[in-house]
Structure 1
Amino acid sequence: MIPFLFTKISSIANSPALIDAQSAQTLTFSNLKTHVLRLSCALLNLNISKNDAVLILSPNSIRFPVAFFAVVAVGAVVIPSNPQYTAAEIAKQIKDSNPKLIITVHQLYDRIKQFNLPCILLNQSASNNPMLHSYLELIRSTPTTSLPDVMQSDVAAVLYSSGTTGASKGAVLTHKNFMESALMMTSDQEANKESGNVFLCFLPMCHIFGLSALVYAQLQRGNTVVVMAWYEMNAMLRAIEQYKVTHMFVVPPVVLELIKKQDMVKEYDVSTLKEILSGAAPLGEEIIEACSKTFPQAVVCQAYGMTETSGVISFENRMCSPHPGSVGPLAPSVEAQIVDSVTMQRLSPFQKGEIWIKGPLVMKGYLNNHKATAEIIDEEDWLHTGDVGYFDGEGRLYIVDRVKELIKYKGFQVAPSELEDLLLTHPEIVDAAVIGLGDAEAGEIPIAYIVRSSMSSLTTKQVQQFIAQQVAPFKRLRRVIFTREIPRSPIGKILRKELRQQSVAKL
């Protein structure tokens, strides 16, 4: 995937590849290639060889991609770890993946020093400790040599799923997976012969959305990636204005904040923004339309993907007229079918069922977990996504919810996302989550967790009436719980199992 990354370098060598949003420090494509090559050779000198695992524990920075590319360039395997993880959570990943080296920042070193593994510090000179190495010193002092041969079928990375619906598992992704995903993610730009776009990246690079669909895919295309260490709305809007950002990949909580704080948006020049692409969780039609009014010059659309599929499965783009609520047509080379999870029969357009995926983007399997792999990938290589959706008559895909998250009320299926989308249209509701709670008579009842705006005096009865006026009787909310915040993963997915635990504790 590294030669593929630099296929266009002769024409873009001096163009900016990575820009730090805060400091404006820049790596051109030529700089990027040099840094990757030098760090790759340094890894060889540190006895990192093909198929060895290297854990990267770091917030976003312009050095994170260099580290990632350098590891895969020598045929080693990257284990991206969430910088928010505790030492205990990191220990689980280390036990599962058995890395020989850790690449981190000095602020996080205390969390991993107990593992007694050699480390490269991305942002500080190393001390006299022989186990610590400085990124800058390695880049400056390492002579370049030839690198090992790497095949497309070789493993490039193991990315751990968020674990929102069960224990976290490591998805094994190959070089070919990343390359196919990059081609799919930029297929609209290829068709439109676009170049020189500027993408803003505050999505975590330890996650597939930030790493594959954004960083790798867009750099391979020759686009500039402006990097933010973390998301903050003012900083994001300032970066759009300063660096003339054209594309922004987001998650639903960001879209909600953009809608709720339109006055803040108006303080900045965001006229260069052409596309806002949301992923990680479905957005309702009303929310998309509200965001489109805030950014009238930009297309607001959705994408659908998974860690297990190297990123993208389907996405809307500016080449076709958007259909609010849809996650677009399938990406090139992707096959899909909608299947009744009870009868296992393939369903027709507009019929809702589980989405099954096949194609070159599907992972090899879960690391050290044959049982979990067999449960998600069948003998005909169909990946059972666990997501409920349907196709319309023109091949556009719509996501309804997760199979395991559908609420069964007296035999009727209730999609939490449908109720959440309606709740978020209420002017006094800042955030919302809906879960099913066990009930002796109904099986499960829909209950809502609500975050009210600061001056709101919204009552349970008012919330229930607001929903009752818009849905069938079986979808009505049976309980409302007001809370200060909705627990979410780093990419914005609602952590429903935490809410279920809270609900059980309150009974």
Structure 2
Amino acid sequence: MTWISRNGIEIRDLVPADLRRRWVERGDCPDRDLYALLRERVRAHPGREAVIDDERTLDYAGLDREVRRIAAALSGAGLGPGDIVGIRLPNGWRALVAELAVVAVGAVALPYPAGPGSRDTRSLLGRSRATGAIFADQEDAAVAAELPHLREVFTFGSGSLDEAPYEHSWEPSPIDPEAPARILVTSGSQAEPKMIAYSHNAMGGGRANYVRALHRGDDPMRGLLLVKTATSYGSCAVVSLAALGSTLILADRFDAAEVLRVVARHRPSHLFGVPTMLRRLAEQPAAPEEDLSSLQAVVSSGAPLPEVTAAACRQRFGCQVITIYGSSDGINCHTARTGEVPGTGTPDPAVADIRIVDEHGADAPAGEIWARGPMTPLSYVADAELDARYRTADGWVRSGDLGTFDRHGRLHVLGRLKQVVSRGGYQISPAEVERELSAHPAIVDVACVPVPDADLGERMCACISQAAAAPELTLADITDFLATERGLEPRKLPEYLLRLPELPLAPTGKVCRRTVTAMAAELEKETAR
């Protein structure tokens, strides 16, 4: 299948059509569009809480009323099938309503995180040739004049969508479940953000299946989402509503003490965050009125979870800690079924099958992680080079990660194929060193990055943040720990140490390696003087 936008953007499905049909017949994909799935939830439980944020609570009937109101406004402006609509809104009910309204009219949603500056707006809406956009910030709206394909701009707050009337006459039209529904955005290692298109079936099927597997029991999940709904990780929000009938509790800004108060107030079953957030929550002193008994699981994704943070969360929250290995490119594996044993869980064929292959694409004991299954995306948007690099002719996604399976079928991620430090002709995996350093009780966050070296090409710098009460570590301390207690070979030991109060984060919640690498390079220059 090939979908072509009104402005000539071509999105091809790189998975064979017979496989897509097999996943539908197997029951792994619903064969219905996301808004049709939401309407089923509305009919089944109109009074159930759907979205809770700082401003208001919407039940499913109220959520649908808002979605239909915004959908009518979009449709009235001529937006619908063939259009891509950018969405840049803070976390909250409006962001979810906007995305659901866009897909309800048959257009493709392109959410991306709110924040200062308009560079992402220019890049994403320009390269996708978006016809419409929904903004909260007037700075973004002002960019519209620079984007020739952007025809309709809506704003919340003081603008048009808050005042849009409810149109009883608007009704959705049939939508192909294999057509694109959402474009996920990720910075990755590219100069500009990557855009990956997902169909309604991949979102309401494969992605929903992974979220469903995180929950146990007959009661619906109540998820407290600390990450932005516009991120890849945050895309679980819309599928939790449309496909699963969950209750979502949203936080626009992260404050550890307030998050714990929200847990006591709204009693979520699951808390979704990135490792840095979870560490800060675990370190937060208990308040007299604290009640965390509703939590079934704390869910971590976006970056590897250090052992010390996982242990602290289990002790602090008294519940399961689930780690997710995944990416917006179409990889997913988690530990919901395997518990605290080593590894990143076992693959779920209802989400994605996983293979380990060598450089020739043949199955191997250790090698690159490939994935393909009901959650596999269609293709990259406006980037044939990325399709050629990360997709195979039969639809597999090349992760760029190294991995292996143990004898129990559990996946172990060993590092990045290209994220290496080349020291005197020897390739060192930063992920391996980070994994071992994360076991140090005084280290709460770590990133290992290369610094240029005239003699050896590159040397490794360990960038760490420490627990507040821990004694300050030296380079000798960490190399001794790695060599003596973790058994790391001498050639893999870091040769620089950069201590920071907190490691800088990208909007996705992951450590921003570009920033850390630049800081480490400055440290090397100062050391050389």
* Coarse TM-score class (shorter-chain normalised): 0.7 to 0.9
Displacement of 1:15 in angstroms is 0.7
**Distance of 1:437 and 1:346 partners within structure 2:** 34
Displacement of 1:165 in angstroms is 4.9
Answering whether residue 167 of structure 2 is matched by residue 136 of structure 1, we say no
Displacement of 1:103 in angstroms is 1.1
**Distance of 2:230 and 2:92 partners within structure 1:** 11
Gaps of 5+ in 2: 1-33, 146-150
Which residue number corresponds to residue 24 of structure 2? none
Displacement of 1:474 in angstroms is 2.2
Which residue number corresponds to residue 207 of structure 1? 231
**Contact preservation (8 Å) 1:314, 1:327:** yes
**Distance of 1:141 and 1:336 partners within structure 2:** 46
Displacement of 1:7 in angstroms is 2.2
Q: Describe the shift of the 1:326–1:165 C-alpha distance in structure 2 as closer, same or farther (beyond 3 A).
A: farther
Answering whether residue 231 of structure 2 is matched by residue 198 of structure 1, we say no
Equivalent position amino acid for 2:170 in 1:
T
Displacement of 1:175 in angstroms is 1.2
Q: Describe the shift of the 1:179–1:195 C-alpha distance in structure 2 as closer, same or farther (beyond 3 A).
A: same
**Contact preservation (8 Å) 1:196, 1:224:** yes
Which residue number corresponds to residue 329 of structure 2? 308
**Distance of 2:261 and 2:41 partners within structure 1:** 30
Q: Taking CA–CA contacts closer than 8 Å with sequence separation of 6 or more, which of the two structures ends up with the larger relative contact order? A: 2
Answering whether residue 117 of structure 2 is matched by residue 86 of structure 1, we say yes
> Aligned to 1:157, which of 175, 182, 185?
182
Which residue number corresponds to residue 154 of structure 2? 120
> Aligned to 1:275, which of 267, 286, 297?
297
Which residue number corresponds to residue 281 of structure 2? 258
TM-score by length of 2: 0.84
**Distance of 1:400 and 1:255 partners within structure 2:** 23
Answering whether residue 301 of structure 2 is matched by residue 293 of structure 1, we say no
Which residue number corresponds to residue 238 of structure 1? 261
Answering whether residue 37 of structure 2 is matched by residue 4 of structure 1, we say yes
Which residue number corresponds to residue 339 of structure 1? 357
Answering whether residue 407 of structure 2 is matched by residue 393 of structure 1, we say yes
> Aligned to 1:76, which of 99, 107, 132?
107
Which residue number corresponds to residue 148 of structure 1? 173
**Contact preservation (8 Å) 2:82, 2:107:** yes
Q: Deviations over 1:285-322 (max 9, x none)?
A: 443233212222x110111221122xx622222xx340
Displacement of 1:408 in angstroms is 4.3
**Distance of 2:398 and 2:203 partners within structure 1:** 20
Helix, strand or coil at the partner of 1:451: strand
Aligned length: 482
> Aligned to 1:367, which of 359, 381, 391?
381
Equivalent position amino acid for 1:380 in 2:
D
Equivalent position amino acid for 1:230 in 2:
R
Helix, strand or coil at the partner of 2:51: strand
**Contact preservation (8 Å) 1:38, 1:144:** no
Helix, strand or coil at the partner of 1:379: coil
TM-score by length of 1: 0.88
Gaps of 5+ in 1: 127-132
**Contact preservation (8 Å) 1:262, 1:294:** no
RMSD: 2.5
Helix, strand or coil at the partner of 1:395: coil
Q: Deviations over 1:211-241 (max 9, x none)?
A: 2x23323552121101111222112111111
Divergent runs of 4+, >6 A: none
**Distance of 2:420 and 2:342 partners within structure 1:** 18
Displacement of 1:153 in angstroms is 1.6
**Distance of 1:321 and 1:98 partners within structure 2:** 43
**Contact preservation (8 Å) 1:285, 1:325:** no
Answering whether residue 264 of structure 2 is matched by residue 220 of structure 1, we say no
Helix, strand or coil at the partner of 1:8: helix
Equivalent position amino acid for 2:193 in 1:
S
Which residue number corresponds to residue 129 of structure 1? none
Segment of structure 1 superposing worse, 461-470 or 238-247: 461-470
Displacement of 1:382 in angstroms is 1.4
Equivalent position amino acid for 2:163 in 1:
E
Helix, strand or coil at the partner of 1:79: strand
